[in-house]
Amino acid sequence: MSNFNTSDIRNVALISHVGTGKTSLADAMLFDAGQNTRFGKVDQETSLLDYEPEEVKRRTTISASVASFNWNNTRINLIDTPGSANFAADARSCMQGVDSIVVVIDATDGIKIQSSKFIKQAQEMGLSMCVFMNKLERENANYKAVLEKLKNSFAAKPVPIQLPIGQEASFKGVVDLLTQKAYIFESDESGKFKETDIPAEMKDQVTSTREQSIELIVECDDEILEKYLEGQELSQEDINKALKAGIKNKQIVPILFGAATKNIGVAQLMNFIAEYLPSPADKSGEPFSSLVFKTIADPYAGQLTILRVFSGNMTSDSTVLNSTKGGKERIGQVLHLVGKKHEPAEKAITGDIVALAKLKDTHTGDTLCDEKHPVTIKPIKQPSPVISFAIKPKSKGDEEKIQSGLKRLMEEDITLQSTRNTQTKEMILSGMGQVHLDVAIEKLKRKFGVEVLLDTPKIPYKETVKGDVSIQGKYKKQSGGKGQYGDCWIEIHPLERGKGFEYVDKVVGGAIPRQYIPAVENGIKGAMEEGVLAGYPVVDIQVVLFDGSFHPVDSSEMAFKVAGSMAFKKGFVEAQPILLEPIMYVEITVPEENVGDIMGDLNGRRGRMLGIEAEASTQTVKAEIPMAEMLRYAPDLDSMTGGAGIFTMEFTRYEEVPAHTAQKVIDEHKAAKEAEVG
């Protein structure tokens, strides 16, 4: 099916918490669709989609993979996304490229926190969705208990359209509630099945569950609902029409069942995607516009840019506009992907997902469009990093290689951030969690041959004053010949937080010649760079220069610069100096049973509670906490919640450090200075 229309396309992402079997499901789908001659397995390191060495080593998805294939006269563009909070931003970006999501749920433990977050984001994006309840063959699988938990997990109504035949070791197939047919699968992972009658022991359950599901489905179409209420018999066509409407309008969430690693129920899921999930046809328009939702640093093709075409067509060997950057891009070969395999295509049509190689300046979040009809598609906002480390080269002279390598990695991963802290002089690597940064360091070594050492970053404290002072700074030096003379009087006043620095010249009567006024300011600014309390920059103060004196021969810019610095340092100590620390706004989502532990822990971290938001079986604690207390929070949260908690964090403002904590910081600075001298 090389020639297909927009209405034939289904863009679908597999979404869930880590460990539910998304990649196993994707591998089973590719095997059944004939894209792989053998059934790829994550545990056997043969998966078509988890192919990066870091993924193979950890046996978990780190980077989303795209696989395009044909099934039942449709073109399915499937995206297997990572489920770990460390890499959730990649999944969020990919959701902007699809029309539907399949929420993969573990039948042994139901929906976990990251799945709930993804579902909420998908709802905000207006995506249709269905559920594939996986791992029915596992010990402790309990689909009825999980179904009960699903009732409050979606804005729409969850509707079973299948029932599993058996459970745990006896699981062998599914009953389709719409057609009332049973499918019994071979036990050889081939995906082959036989259509049979509904098992006798399930008939009553099938009848009652079907009735409940049909009632919910027909509510999605007024005309069919009226027929149903009048007691008219509904055709299969009626049911299908209402089901499609309910999915498209986000009124219902159909639930299917299976076992990905056993290849049971996978073909039925693919049939469902082809038959019922919406195509991009409803969103199409002219002329060409597309959004880049992922970038891959491919070892063979160089950089691969993956995009969703929202309108119009794009052909190979054409020129398009990057409206985000304002530059043109030459398109080479249009590619369809199956994991790391590339299949050339003549063009990309409306709704398609394709890859482009070796674009010069296009990255995740950019819009590519028709040159004559510029348009910009807004990318989703990504969360701020939650963990940072100071990094330095293991070998001297590798700093440039580190910066070059990190630049390439950040093009591939937009939540990885590398900055130079001008205050602490450290190179800082920030990301979404410990594993996120570990993977980045591994890639840095594997792809760019450079190793780094990690250390806890220094807190970027700042210094300011709470009081007012008037002080003189006088610099007088005579050592034969021309001397040095500068004399100034200044006032120091506190400013509102965030106001920075104000310099006010109130000198009158020529007490200080005009050419020396800026020199006093420069001296003050120089002293502010390394504060008096603990060596941190000084902020939020006003300095007023109001008097002074000069010598007609010995005065100079240098002398007044020194005088200004002297006056500031003396006056700062007398103006009630204080230390300021960065405060972070934090949202921590945990299971209900962990909330008490989280709140107690936050109190111990000098946290200020802002509120709690309940959602299904989770609660999100909102608080403000000093950055100094959050540097190692990720592993602590894992420990408190058994790995079930996730958090986001972003800088909000600076606040005064409590006196006893400030004294510790000051003493540490003093000890470090003495050690340098010693």
Q: Enter the tokens of residue 467.
A: 């009081």
Give dist(CA 407, CA 278) in Å, integer: 38
Tell me the DSSP string of 157-195: EEEE-EEEES-GGG--EEEETTTTEEEEE-SSSS--EEE
Which residues, in sequence order, are CB contacts of 406 under 8 Å at separation 6+? Answer: 416, 418, 429, 440, 444
Please give the DSSP secondary-structure letter assigned to residue 279: P
Q: Is the peptide bond before 254 cis (omega within 30 degrees of 0)?
A: no
Which residues, in sequence order, are CB contacts of 21 under 8 Å at separation 6+? Answer: 104, 106, 134, 135, 260, 261
At residue 282, the pLDDT reads 66
Give dist(CA 340, CA 53) in Å, integer: 13
By C-alpha distance, which of 632, 608, 634 is closest to 621?
A: 608
Residue reference for tokens 């510029």: 374
Q: Enter the tokens of residue 168.
A: 């745990």
Q: How far apart are the first and last CA of the chain?
A: 76
Measured in degrees and rounded to the nearest 5, phi and psi for residue 356 equal -125, 140
For the purposes of burial, counting CB atoms within 10 Å of the CB of 542, is it exposed (0-12), middle (13-18) or buried (19 or more)?
A: middle
| Residues 326 and 367: beta-carbon distance below 8 Å | no
Q: Enter the tokens of residue 160.
A: 């079973």
3-state SS of 484-499? Answer: EEEEEEEEEEECCCCC
Residue type, 13: A
203's enclosing H/E stretch is: helix 203-218
The CB density around residue 188, as the number of other CB atoms within 10 Å, is: 10
At residue 1, the pLDDT reads 44
| Residues 545 and 504: beta-carbon distance below 8 Å | yes
Residue type, 24: S
| Residues 276 and 2: beta-carbon distance below 8 Å | no
The CB density around residue 372, as the number of other CB atoms within 10 Å, is: 8
| Residues 21 and 105: beta-carbon distance below 8 Å | no
For the purposes of burial, counting CB atoms within 10 Å of the CB of 676, is it exposed (0-12), middle (13-18) or buried (19 or more)?
A: exposed
Nearest-Å Rg of the Cα atoms of the chain is 32
Which segments of the chain have a pLDDT < 50?
A: 1
Residue type, 241: K
Q: Where are the alpha helices (DSSP H) in 382-450?
A: 399-412, 434-448
At residue 411, the pLDDT reads 86
3-state SS of 297-364? Answer: EECCCEEEEEEEEEECCEECCEEEEECCCCEEEEECCEEEEECCEEEEECEECCCCEEEEECCCCCCC
Strand intervals (E) in 177-288: 181-185, 193-196, 252-257
**Residues paired with 304 in a beta bridge:** 296, 357
Residue type, 400: E
| Residues 483 and 562: beta-carbon distance below 8 Å | no
Residue reference for tokens 């056993």: 262
For the entire predicted model, the pTM comes to: 0.85
Angle at the Cα of 293 from the Cα atoms of 93 and 380, rounded to 5 degrees:
45
Give dist(CA 31, CA 29) in Å, integer: 5
Please give the DSSP secondary-structure letter assigned to residue 260: G
Do the strands 65-71 and 74-80 form a parallel or antiparallel pair, or are they unpaired? antiparallel
By C-alpha distance, which of 339, 307, 343 is closest to 29?
A: 339
Q: Enter the tokens of residue 89.
A: 């931003």
The domains found in the chain, sorted by start residue, are 8-198+252-279 (3.40.50.300), 284-369 (2.40.30.10), 387-455 (3.30.70.870), 463-575 (3.30.230.10), 580-660 (3.30.70.240)
The CB density around residue 636, as the number of other CB atoms within 10 Å, is: 13
The CB density around residue 290, as the number of other CB atoms within 10 Å, is: 27
- Total number of residues shown for the chain: 678
Please give the DSSP secondary-structure letter assigned to residue 52: S
Q: Enter the tokens of residue 149.
A: 């938990």
Residue reference for tokens 């984001």: 121
Dihedral sign for Cα atoms in the order 265, 267, 270, 272 = negative
By C-alpha distance, which of 428, 427, 452 is closest to 442?
A: 452
Residue type, 252: I
Which residues, in sequence order, are CB contacts of 417 under 8 Å at separation 6+? Answer: 385, 410, 428, 429, 430, 431
